[in-house]
């Protein structure tokens, strides 16, 4: 739709936001060479630069935000949101984020497994123990049990 565009940012001294749009909804999608969000960000930056010239200590404070109590930074597997397993790490799917200490992941990811699989068409299936080894490949696949829990 591209009919409203907001941008808000904050520092320890000030929160500053802008809204672009029309009283009667009208497209903001394209104008010239900038997208609607680029134009909003550009306007916000111009206004903040002007404010900085007037009162730099307000716009560029020397102090940073302080981490509130009860918030921690932890790694998790991006597939499941659980603690990273060795397979998730090997796949390069570990991310980090901030959590409320009461909501930190506690179980280790089991969404990915390593094992023998067969490829049929463009899909991978976990090989059975009875599948001849010459028809299998070893690697990472989604754990079928994980998929069942998600469906």
Residue 13 CA neighbour count, 13 Å, CB half: 11
Residue 103, pLDDT score:
96
Say if residue 55 is in the same domain as residue 107: no
In this prediction the pTM is 0.65
Say if residue 46 is in the same domain as residue 79: no
Token pair listed for 10 = 């904050």
Q: Is there a contact between 94 and 84 (Cβ–Cβ < 8 Å)?
A: yes
- pLDDT tens for 15-53 read 999 999 889 988 877 667 888 888 899 999 999 999 999
Residue 9, pLDDT score:
95
Residue 57, pLDDT score:
94
Residue 111 burial (CB count, 10 A):
22
pLDDT tens string for the chain (151 positions)? 788 889 999 999 999 999 998 899 888 776 678 888 888 999 999 999 999 999 999 999 999 999 999 999 999 999 999 999 999 999 999 999 999 999 999 999 999 999 999 999 999 899 999 999 999 999 999 999 999 999 9
- Name which of 97, 95, 98 is nearest 71 in CA terms: 98
What total of structural domains would you count in the chain? 2
Give the end of a domain, one of 59, 76, 103: 59
DSSP string across the chain:
---EEEEEEE-SS-EEEEEEE-SS----SEETTEEHHHHHHHHHHHHHHHHHHH-HHHHS-SS-PPPPTTEEEEEEETTTSSBPPHHHHHTT-EEEEEEEGGG---SBP-SEEEEEEEEETTEEEEPPTTS-GGG-EEEEEE-HHHHHHH-
Say if residue 103 is in the same domain as residue 40: no
Residue 128: domain span? 67-151
Say if residue 21 is in the same domain as residue 77: no
């Amino acid at each position: 739709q591209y009919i409203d565009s907001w941008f808000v940012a904050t520092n320890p001294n000030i929160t500053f936001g802008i809204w672009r749009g029309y009283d009667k909804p009208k497209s903001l999608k394209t104008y010239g060479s900038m997208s609607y969000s680029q134009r909003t960000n550009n306007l916000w930056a111009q206004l903040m630069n002007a404010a900085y010239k007037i009162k730099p200590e307000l716009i560029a404070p020397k102090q940073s935000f302080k981490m509130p109590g009860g918030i921690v930074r932890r790694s998790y597997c991006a597939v499941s949101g659980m603690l990273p397993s060795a397979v998730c790490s090997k796949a390069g799917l570990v991310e980090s984020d901030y959590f409320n200490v009461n909501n930190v992941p506690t179980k280790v990811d089991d969404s990915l497994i390593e094992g023998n699989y067969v490829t049929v068409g463009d899909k991978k299936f976990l090989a059975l123990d009875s599948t001849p080894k010459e028809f299998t490949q070893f690697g990472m696949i989604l754990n079928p049990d994980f998929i069942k829990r998600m469906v």
